[in-house]
A and B are shown apart, each in its own frame.
Chain A
């Protein structure tokens, strides 16, 4: 049985008597990537705060790495987690490396080489003498990601992880997640957009009306079209279309949809003939 790294059991959280989330339950297993989507103010970040011990549940129970996260006598905090919530704030007067170096001294578990490696993984130059005050939003986000991964925690919590990242940053981020997931690291991603996190997640939950529901997943569908003009029309409407090898001499694409009914609606509206070749699980049609 896979070990549960994070468990939310009937968790309700109120802030100033206002209910933010109500009776939510879910688990994150070893090596699992869980996404949480929802509109602004739906309580997504609250879930991350509860998992990281920055807030405690009003009722219910949060357990992280087998430890119940509660106020208790000493304000228990989870162990072995990395976190990046909202826009990361660093000490503006220091360089990126110095910021991470000072932070590493709290746990005192890693070397300068580990910090350099983490910075290089996110595409930041550890020797850069620029102060964080002069960093762009994207650079701060990269530094925030480096901060979260540098101590090799077994759980990482990310709030809008690709916020401000350019294409290179997003690719590096995806590579980091894929590599760490293979090593058994568990993740929770929070985002307002399904598209942003769907690609990386094993399961996605949606927060709506203070409750959490398992979301239908976007799957990659292999579809054969009749002409390159059709491919172009589809590409203009959907940005996440990938062109693949031709099938029987006809152009083929990979395009994400939740269910096959959505494919029908989409192509019927465009009046394009199509043929579904392979679904996400390589089911041939």
Chain B
């Protein structure tokens, strides 16, 4: 069924996909100056150093305000929010459910889609950053200035892996939140709206420095550079470790998948928004 779902998504939602890609390019362009200024202000980069593509990519994936707390969660939510609610609204559900053995397999397919979308979105954003970096003539040399590279003693590939893994897990959690909300609220638009509100909340707590609250909020978990041991750049919360965020994201996704299953397992399907 996953093949069917993906083909259907690409055929029906290509305008939305194009729009999200365009917005990713705008975001990436905005991020060039944003990351550069951050490195200069943090004295990680001097006027004589080359701002490299590695700094740009890792810096972008660790830009809390606007980028990770707002635009990326919202764009990902727009992509996945209605993957279940649209089936129910469009009266297509009868065709799927009568071809499956149980409703659980339907939920599993949708969860697989969220995971797949998170991976593809990450690769897509990476590609967008590379293209934007080339456009702005950012150096492709192997020099690194971002604090994640400086703080990590292992090979720089590990930093990329950590950053990407956290980002993917975070997107899965965000996808699960927005899809679960859309099922319970029977409205994908409202659930995206809640993600927008959550984004504002994260930004407010970040600006006023409520690290203790931020440590428990979902969008804080997928910024690898937010860990406590990257202080002064991370959150000043001792228990906010890699393990904490991994447990939060994996556990959170697990709980949400149970909630999603519980709702789908019992619901009267095909009654639209009644």
Contact = CB atoms under 8 A, between A and B. Distances in A.
Interface string B81-103: 00000000011111111111111
A112 to B, nearest CB: 15
Contacts of B92: 89-91
Interface string A46-85: 0001001111100000000000000101111111011111
Contact of A102 (B4, B98, B104, B265): B4
Contacts of B99: 103, 106-107, 151
A78 B91 contact: no
A15 interface: yes
Interface string A87-106: 11111011000000011011
A90 B12 CA distance: 11
B266 A52 contact: no
A147 interface: yes
Contact of A106 (B12, B100, B265): B100
A3 interface: no
A54 B270 contact: yes
Contact of B102 (A56, A77, A86, A89): A77
Nearest to A81: B98
A86 B268 contact: no
Contacts of A52: 94, 97-98
Contact of B11 (A79, A81, A94, A106): A94
A87 to B, nearest CB: 7
A54 to B, nearest CB: 4
Nearest to B264: A75
B204 interface: no
B8 interface: yes
A13 to B, nearest CB: 9
B97 A53 contact: yes
B104 A75 contact: yes
A53 B11 contact: no
Contact of A75 (B98, B266, B270): B266
Nearest to A89: B91
Contacts of A107: 99
A85 B93 CA distance: 11
Interface in B226-274: 264-266, 268-271, 274
A83 B98 contact: yes
In this complex, the member of B90, B95, B100, B105 whose beta carbon has the largest number of chain A beta carbons within 10 angstroms is B95
A93 B271 CA distance: 23
A71 B269 CA distance: 12
Contacts of A15: 268, 271, 274
B97 A77 contact: yes
A39 B90 CA distance: 25
Contacts of B90: 89
Contact of A71 (B3, B93, B101, B266): B266
A54 B95 contact: no
Given A49-B268, A54-B268, A91-B92, 20 more contacts: A15-B268, A49-B269, A52-B98, A54-B94, A55-B269, A56-B266, A74-B105, A74-B265, A75-B102, A75-B264, A77-B101, A84-B94, A85-B94, A85-B270, A90-B92, A91-B11, A102-B8, A105-B3, A106-B96, A107-B99
28 contacts: A15-B274, A49-B270, A52-B94, A54-B93, A54-B269, A55-B268, A55-B270, A71-B265, A71-B266, A73-B265, A74-B102, A75-B102, A75-B104, A76-B101, A76-B102, A77-B103, A79-B101, A83-B98, A88-B91, A91-B8, A91-B11, A93-B12, A102-B8, A103-B95, A103-B99, A106-B96, A107-B99, A147-B95
